[in-house]
């Protein structure tokens, strides 16, 4: 029985890098996507060329019933499902006065509710394994320009610790908090470099930095409930 991992939002950006790293580390991979069907299939072919099995799963993460059904399909497809990476996330700028109910519900559903119910399904269906949650260095700040986004990531930090306690010893739960790794979609050229001066290490990071942290947490059997900041020291500001 080959070990398998689910990566939500696995078709692009950090999700893609993590999916490929897991395949190289010996895992079959379930790639979740919503709108990125073409990118998901291209990634699946790349993973198969590495000699690992890969299947893609479309799911709207704001639909809890659909999330639960996807988990059941993945468990039926991969007998060795033992890793869950909650990577998918919505990033939207809005202060308190700019926030409406639609934005609040959208970010809460994808960034917090989906990881919670996927974690619950993983625990019920798999019973043993490891979970990695992708957070944000902004959990260390009070960033009002992205109010709801920051709230969801702070709550996911608490969820990481709470589930690590409840699911131990059979399931370890940890998190990674990226900093300046990838620019947001549509950002101007040089976006990361312009912000790097505020980071103690004075440079942006790379996707490989996040991958290394995730693999460390997967392989470190005596670590649970931890969140590693991979942000060049930005959280120290």
Q: What φ, ψ does residue 207 adopt, rounded to 5°?
A: -55, -35
Domain limits, the chain: 4-178+224-229
pLDDT at 48: 98
CA pair distance 114, 133, nearest whole angstrom: 11
Mind listing the pLDDT tens digit for each residue in 32-49?
A: 999 999 999 999 999 999
91: tokens are 């990033």
Task: Give pLDDT tens digits for 62-114.
Answer: 999 999 999 999 999 999 999 999 999 999 999 999 999 999 999 999 999 99
Is-catalytic flag, 216?
A: no
CATH tag, 4-178+224-229: 3.40.50.720
Q: What is the pTM of this model?
A: 0.96
* pLDDT greater than 90 at residue 138: yes
Looking at per-residue pLDDT, the higher value among 178 and 198 belongs to 178
Give the active site residue among 27, 33, 149, 191.
Answer: 149
Rounded distance between C-alpha atoms, residue 117 and residue 54, angstroms: 23
Query: How far apart are the C-alpha atoms of 109 and 234, rounded to whole Å?
Result: 27
């Amino acid at each position: 029985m080959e070990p398998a991992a689910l990566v939500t939002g696995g078709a692009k950006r950090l999700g893609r890098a993590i999916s490929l790293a897991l395949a190289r580390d010996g895992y079959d991979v379930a790639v979740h996507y919503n709108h990125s069907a073409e990118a998901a299939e291209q990634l699946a072919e790349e993973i198969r060329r590495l000699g690992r099995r890969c299947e893609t799963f479309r799911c709207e993460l704001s639909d809890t019933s659909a999330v639960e059904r996807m988990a059941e399909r993945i468990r039926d497809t991969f007998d060795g499902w033992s890793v869950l990476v909650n990577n998918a996330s919505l990033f939207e700028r809005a202060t308190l006065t700019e926030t409406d109910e639609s934005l609040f519900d959208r970010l809460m559903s994808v960034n917090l509710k989906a990881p919670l119910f996927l974690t619950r399904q993983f625990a019920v269906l798999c019973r043993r394994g490891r979970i990695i949650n992708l957070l944000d260095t902004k959990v260390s700040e009070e960033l009002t320009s992205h109010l709801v986004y920051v709230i969801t990531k702070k709550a996911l930090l608490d969820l990481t610790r709470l589930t690590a306690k409840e699911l131990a010893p059979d399931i370890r739960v940890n998190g990674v908090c990226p900093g300046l790794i990838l620019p947001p979609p549509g950002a101007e050229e040089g976006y990361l470099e312009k912000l790097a001066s505020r980071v103690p290490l004075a440079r942006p990071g790379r996707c490989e930095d996040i991958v290394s942290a995730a693999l460390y947490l997967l392989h470190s059997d005596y670590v649970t409930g931890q969140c590693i900041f991979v942000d060049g020291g930005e959280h120290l500001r």
